[in-house]
Structure 1
Amino acid sequence: MIPVSSRLENKIFPLHELEKQLKPLGYDIGGNWDYNEGSLDYKMADDDGYQFIRIPFIAQDGQLDSPGATVKLGTPFILTHKYQAGVEDHADNGVIQGSINQFQAPEDPDAEVPDKYVEKGQRLIEQVENILL
């Protein structure tokens, strides 16, 4: 995991507005959310694992599943999830492999991030800053 210093840190936004602005770019609410915290995730690649940008947030006003909820953004970071080898050997296309991986625990949820994705991630965070700030 590589934290990315950002002007987004500690900024407060309506969650609905974040989704409206960032979903068209490919960001989604990550699957590990609860009523008080979550993240916006962007899958950059699936090169020997999945490379993501994650922008964590906590509920500031209301619960995340409530209309009008506002959130406070945390420090964005770049991470690689590396999945277990061999599980998808019999699933030779992306759709089947993706559906297997989504239910499989990562072999290494904090694998080393290749340099090219660090640079790409930093550029993508700058893009989000320019859109939101």
Structure 2
Amino acid sequence: MIHVPSRLPGESFSLYHLEETMKPLGYVINGNWDYDHGYFDYKIDNRDGYTFLRVPFTAEKGQLDQPGVVVKLGDPFLLKHVYQDKLDDHAMVGNVGASFNQFQEPKEKDGDVSKAYTEIGFSLVKELEDALL
């Protein structure tokens, strides 16, 4: 994991405004959210695992499942998940197999992020700062 310096941490926005601004830039709300915190993810690459720019947020006023919630942004960081190279011999292929294999444990939850992706992450944060601040 690589922290990306930013002016975003501590800034508050309505979650609706963030979604309206960030989704057109390629961000999605990560499925691993809770009522008080979550993440916006930008997938940079999916070769040899997944490399993301992740922007955390916490609920400041309200809960994430309520309309009008206000959230505070945290420190953006780059993250790489490296998945298993091979599945066991009995793994199915195709859409049905993929629906089960998506839950496999990563080989490395915090893989090495290449320098090229680090530079991309820094430019993505700059773009996001320009859009939000």
TM-score by length of 1: 0.89
Instruction: Please state whether the residue corresponding to 1:111 is helix, strand or coil.
Output: coil
Instruction: Please state whether the residue corresponding to 1:103 is helix, strand or coil.
Output: coil
Aligned position for 1:46 = 46
Aligned position for 1:15 = 15
- 1:129 maps onto 2:99 in alignment: no
Report sequence identity in percent.
49
Distance 1:117 1:86 in 2: 25
Distance 2:56 2:19 in 1: 13
Q: Kindly state the Cα deviation for residue 16 of structure 1 after the two structures are TM-superposed.
A: 0.7
Deviating beyond 6 angstroms after TM superposition, the runs of 4 or more aligned structure 1 residues are: 88-93, 95-98
Q: Kindly state the Cα deviation for residue 47 of structure 1 after the two structures are TM-superposed.
A: 2.1
Aligned position for 1:120 = 120
Q: Which has the larger radius of gyration?
A: 2
Q: Kindly state the Cα deviation for residue 23 of structure 1 after the two structures are TM-superposed.
A: 0.7
User: Which range moves more in the overlay, 101-110 or 24-33?
Assistant: 101-110
Which ranges in structure 2 are unaligned for 5 or more consecutive residues? none
TM-score by length of 2: 0.89
Distance 2:9 2:130 in 1: 14
Residues 19-71 of structure 1: CA distance to partner in whole angstroms, max 9, x if unpaired?
01111121011111000000100101112111000000110000001000010
Q: Is the 8 A contact 1:83 1:101 kept in 2?
A: no
Aligned position for 2:78 = 78
Distance 1:76 1:35 in 2: 20
Q: Kindly state the Cα deviation for residue 87 of structure 1 after the two structures are TM-superposed.
A: 2.3
Paired residue type of 1:47? R
Q: Kindly state the Cα deviation for residue 104 of structure 1 after the two structures are TM-superposed.
A: 2.0
Distance 1:119 1:91, change over 3 A: farther
Which ranges in structure 1 are unaligned for 5 or more consecutive residues? none
Number of aligned residue pairs: give it.
Answer: 132
Paired residue type of 2:35? Y
Aligned position for 2:36 = 36
Distance 1:101 1:7, change over 3 A: farther
Distance 1:96 1:123 in 2: 38
Distance 2:120 2:92 in 1: 29
Distance 1:98 1:50, change over 3 A: farther
Distance 1:129 1:35 in 2: 25
Q: RMSD of aligned C-alpha atoms?
A: 2.1
